[in-house]
Amino acid sequence: MANKKLWIRLGGYVEGTAQQMEEILNGNEEVLLEVLRTNGFTLSGETYIPETETEFDIETQKL
Q: What is the pLDDT of residue 23?
A: 95
pLDDT averages per 10-residue partition of the chain, 63 residues: 89 95 94 94 86 77 74
Nearest to 61 by CA among 18, 7, 11, 20: 11
Q: What is the pLDDT of residue 46?
A: 85
Q: What is the pLDDT of residue 5?
A: 86
Q: What is the pLDDT of residue 25?
A: 94
User: pTM for the whole thing?
Assistant: 0.73
Distance, first Cα to last Cα, the chain: 26
